[in-house]
Structure 1
């Protein structure tokens, strides 16, 4: 069964030329946490998603995959 993709954090980081480590440092979280978000193994809280959007200067909606 294919893994469901719920967020685009990895794609947005690539678009912005940022690394997981840079995002982790700016959010004061562990790098493995960001890695789990990027692989959709774990999802960030809504509050953290807004913090991610603020750090990367993007609209929070840029990080969400539309459900069909």
Structure 2
């Protein structure tokens, strides 16, 4: 599974921020041992540019959220 497809699947569960997506992706994709933060945020930026996702404001603790 690609990172982008994995993130899209996870975002069907609700808005999330980068480190949440990273943790959930790694927990659900046993074949992946590692996913660095740079890859997470560059993938999210690309997905936003493609119109696949949109910013969803911020979380209660001030972190940016995506949906």
TM-score in same-fold range (> 0.5): no
With the length of structure 2 as denominator, give the TM-score of the two structures: 0.30
With the length of structure 1 as denominator, give the TM-score of the two structures: 0.30
More relative contact order, 1 or 2 (CA 8 Å, 6+ apart) = 1
